[in-house]
A and B are shown apart, each in its own frame.
Chain A
Amino acid sequence: EDQVTQSPEALRLQEGESSSLNCSYTVSGLRGLFWYRQDPGKGPEFLFTLYSAGEEKEKERLKATLTKKESFLHITAPKPEDSATYLCAVQAVKFDSNYQLIWGAGTKLIIKP
Chain B
Amino acid sequence: NAGVTQTPKFRVLKTGQSMTLLCAQDMNHEYMYWYRQDPGMGLRLIHYSVGEGTTAKGEVPDGYNVSRLKKQNFLLGLESAAPSQTSVYFCASSEEPYEQYFGPGTRLTVT
Q: Do A and B come from one complex?
A: yes
How far apart are B99's CB and chain A's nearest CB, in angstroms? 5
> Which of A13-21, A42-50, A58-66, A67-75 contacts its partner?
A42-50
Chain B residues, CB < 8 A from A4: 42
Q: Which residue of chain A is the closest to B9 with respect to CB atoms? A: A41
Are the CB atoms of B99 and A49 closer together than 8 Å? yes
Chain B residues, CB < 8 A from A8: none
A106 at interface, CB cutoff 8 A? yes
Are the CB atoms of A105 and B41 closer together than 8 Å? yes
SS of A interface (majority): strand
In chain A, positions 82-98 with a C-beta closer than 8 Å to chain B are 87, 89, 91, 98
B45 at interface, CB cutoff 8 A? yes
Q: Which residue of chain A is the closest to B35 with respect to CB atoms? A: A103
- Pick the most buried of A36, A45, A99, A104: most chain B CB atoms within 10 A of its CB: A99
Chain A residues, CB < 8 A from B92: 43
B residues with CB within 8 A of A: 4, 31, 33, 40-45, 48, 50, 56, 58-59, 90, 92, 97-105
9 closest Cβ pairs, A-B complex: A103-B42, A43-B102, A99-B97, A103-B43, A44-B102, A46-B99, A105-B42, A43-B90, A43-B104
Beyond the given A91-B97, A99-B48, A99-B50, please list 7 additional residue pairs across the A-B interface where CB-CB is below 8 A: A36-B102, A43-B102, A44-B90, A45-B102, A89-B42, A89-B43, A99-B56
